[in-house]
Amino acid sequence: MSSSKKIRVLVAKPGLDGHDRGVKIVARALRDAGMEVIYTGLRQTPEMVVRAALDEGVHCIGLSILSGAHNALFPKIMELLKAEGVSDILVVGGGIIPEDDIPDLKKAGISEIFGPGTPLDVIVEYIKTNVKL
Amino acid sequence: MSIDELVQGVLNQKRRYLARLISLIEDEDIQAMEALSQLYKHTGKGHIIGVTGPPGSGKSSLVTKLTAEFRKRSKTIGIICVDPSSPFTGGALLGDRIRMQEHSLDDEVYVRSMGTRGHLGGLARATSDAVRAVDAFGKDIIFVETVGTGQSEVEVVDVAHTVIVTDVPGSGDDIQAIKAGIMEIADIFVVNKSDLAGADKKVTEINAMLDIDPKEQAWRPPVLLTNARTGEGIPELVDNILAHLEHLKGSGLLQKKGLQRSRDELQELMKYKLTKELSQKLQGKPEYEKAIKMIAKRKQDPYTVAEQLIAEFLFSETR
């Protein structure tokens, strides 16, 4: 019946961060893995990310950040999602994120963090395995 | 979520229910059709505006600026933007929202991106039903932005009341302007990027094409210059869009088009249902597989076999 069901992913760059090469490479890899990837561009507030994710009906949000503001912005996004009553969207992150910060981010609800050098297949597989369609 | 909840959610203007319904439509879920059949009587109110034209001609930017102008005039907005899906992987990169950031937190603007999922014609298969969902939700103006089109992706004409065809200066000579296809479907022509050299020439060429149309036209498509970056020409464009709607209403074309659309849609749905039913009945049947082999071996011809299979499986069994 729903044979045409597709994984929809929002890839977003929250905060003041102009480095978008990484996120474009990831977006391209997800596209090539057969997913529908919505990219909203640079400098998104947490509110904008959540609004876009809900309007677009995505199954996964991929956050990319290289500015160092992840400890503020990632949990804020999770908070807003919770306030909207959303618990079925998989949220993953990537960029320059120190090892020491990862446990707290995971506690806040980010499912996985992919650091520099992560093979693209690993990200694709992780999303395919963990999204709730 | 039950169908009734979904329907009530959409009618009560809850965005998440609208998002959910459009996802179900895209996934061709049976629930979508049930919800839409309940919502049907609440549709037909929105002004549907198609925006089509070649890639990079400024469609998304134009829709953004038009949205701003319509918001100034207190209209609520829905936007469905279509981008191509890969014919190889089925994946898609949907990037039209990037240009629409200025409206991203406006509660009266709903934006939805859509991959074509193998459908040709400039739209996705789900687009017209998604537009209907946004209509039921109660948006005054609904933009349908097609994929970047070439010459013959004209399906938007079946969905929209008003079709805007965008072009840019320097894109081909005056012969391009008299070719069939996309140039025939415009209710309004927009030459965007008016700051580029050759903008006036482009306007002249399109106007010259309209001049040699032998048919007596009650509505001659205006040819407008815009700059979607600065917003130049946008208020005039909105005035022309509204004038076109008035023309449709005043001339009785709106009812006429509505009737034609209902006829086309009904036929399309029946065709879809019949095809589906037939293929379900044929699925795995030995005589079907055998017939295919016979055709490949040139022992039988496909014309006769098609008639036979339809007579046997679609009509004899249901009678």
Note whether A38 contacts B97, CB cutoff 8 Å: yes
Same domain, B90 and B11: no
Map residue B91 onto helix, strand or coil: coil
> What is the distance between the alpha carbons of residues A9 and B62, in angstroms, rounded to a whole number?
26
**Cβ(A97)–Cβ(A108) below 8 Å:** no
Q: Is residue B213 situated within a structural domain? A: yes
Tell whether B113 lies on the interface with A, counting CB pairs under 8 A.
Answer: yes
| Closest in A35, A40, A48 to B91, CB measured | A35
Residue B304 CB partners (closer than 8 Å, separation 6+): none
> What is the distance between the alpha carbons of residues B224 and B241, in angstroms, rounded to a whole number?
11
- For range A34-48, the mean pLDDT: 94
Same domain, B70 and B198: yes
> What is the distance between the alpha carbons of residues B40 and B135, in angstroms, rounded to a whole number?
9
Q: The domain that contains A24 carries what CATH number? A: 3.40.50.280
End-to-end Cα separation, chain B, in angstroms: 37
Phi, psi of B22, rounded to the nearest 5 degrees: -65, -35
Q: Is residue A3 situated within a structural domain? A: no
pLDDT at position A41: 87
Tell whether A101 lies on the interface with B, counting CB pairs under 8 A.
Answer: no
A9: pLDDT strictly greater than 90: yes
Q: Is residue B256 situated within a structural domain? A: no
Map residue B119 onto helix, strand or coil: coil
Structure tokens at B222: 């205006």
Q: Is residue A2 situated within a structural domain? A: no
Same domain, B152 and B63: yes
What residues of B are in contact with residue A40 (Cβ under 8 Å)? 97-98, 101, 104
Percentage of chain A lying above the pLDDT 90 cut: 86
Note whether B20 contacts A57, CB cutoff 8 Å: yes
> What is the distance between the alpha carbons of residues B194 and B168, in angstroms, rounded to a whole number?
8
**Cβ(A11)–Cβ(A62) below 8 Å:** yes
Note whether B93 contacts A35, CB cutoff 8 Å: no
pLDDT at position B319: 40
Same domain, B33 and B56: no
Same domain, B129 and B84: yes
- 319 residues of chain B, pLDDT tens digit each: 899 999 999 999 999 999 999 999 999 899 999 999 999 999 999 999 999 999 989 999 999 999 999 999 999 999 999 999 999 999 999 998 998 989 999 999 999 999 999 888 899 989 999 999 999 999 999 999 999 887 778 889 999 999 999 999 987 766 676 676 788 899 999 999 999 999 999 999 999 888 888 777 889 999 999 999 999 999 999 999 999 999 999 999 999 999 999 999 999 889 988 888 888 888 888 989 999 999 999 999 999 999 999 888 887 654 4
pLDDT at position B178: 64
> What is the distance between the alpha carbons of residues A93 and B10, in angstroms, rounded to a whole number?
32
| Closest in B15, B27, B94 to A55, CB measured | B15
Tell whether B89 lies on the interface with A, counting CB pairs under 8 A.
Answer: yes
Q: Is residue B174 situated within a structural domain? A: yes
The single-letter DSSP state of residue B227 is B
The chain B residue lying nearest A55, using CA atoms, is: B19
> What is the distance between the alpha carbons of residues B117 and B92, in angstroms, rounded to a whole number?
8
What residues of B are in contact with residue A18 (Cβ under 8 Å)? none
**Spacing of C-alpha B31 from chain mean position:** 22
Note whether A40 contacts B104, CB cutoff 8 Å: yes
**Cβ(B154)–Cβ(B165) below 8 Å:** no
Tell whether B117 lies on the interface with A, counting CB pairs under 8 A.
Answer: yes
Return the exposure string of A50-82: e unless at least 16 CB atoms fall within 10 Å of the residue's CB, then b: bbbbbbbbbbbbbbbbbeeebeebbbbbbebbe
Domain around B208? 44-251
Note whether A56 contacts B86, CB cutoff 8 Å: no
Tell whether A102 lies on the interface with B, counting CB pairs under 8 A.
Answer: no
What residues of B are in contact with residue A32 (Cβ under 8 Å)? 86, 89, 91
Number of independent structural domains in chain B? 3
pLDDT at position B150: 77
Q: Is residue B106 situated within a structural domain? A: yes
Same domain, B83 and B232: yes
- Pick the last residue of a domain from B42, B58, B74: B42
Cα three-residue angle B62-B67-B73, rounded to 5 degrees: 135
Distance from CA of A111 to the nearest CA of B (A): 23
Structure tokens at B259: 């009737």
- Measured between alpha carbons, how far is residue A116 from residues A22, A66, A94, B201, B308 in Å? 9, 10, 8, 51, 62
Phi, psi of A73, rounded to the nearest 5 degrees: -80, -40
Q: Give ipTM to 2 decimals.
A: 0.90
Same domain, B140 and B241: yes
Same domain, B206 and B58: yes
| Closest in A31, A40, A57 to B91, CB measured | A31
Q: Which of B18, B47, B43 is nearest to B136 (CA)?
A: B43
Same domain, B246 and B274: no
Number of independent structural domains in chain A? 1
pLDDT digits 0-9 by tens, A46-79: 999 999 999 999 999 999 999 999 999 999 999 9
Map residue B49 onto helix, strand or coil: strand
> What is the distance between the alpha carbons of residues B79 and B134, in angstroms, rounded to a whole number?
9
Same domain, B85 and B126: yes
Note whether B95 contacts A39, CB cutoff 8 Å: yes
Entry pTM: 0.90
Structure tokens at B120: 């040709």
Q: Which residue has the tokens 């995505």?
A: A58
A82: pLDDT strictly greater than 90: yes
Q: Is residue A66 situated within a structural domain? A: yes
Same domain, B50 and B76: yes
Same domain, B63 and B5: no
pLDDT at position B183: 81
| Closest in B89, B91, B117 to A4, CB measured | B117
Q: The domain that contains B83 carries what CATH number? A: 3.40.50.300
Tell whether A104 lies on the interface with B, counting CB pairs under 8 A.
Answer: no
Residue A53 CB partners (closer than 8 Å, separation 6+): A10, A61, A81, A89
Domain around A91? 8-130
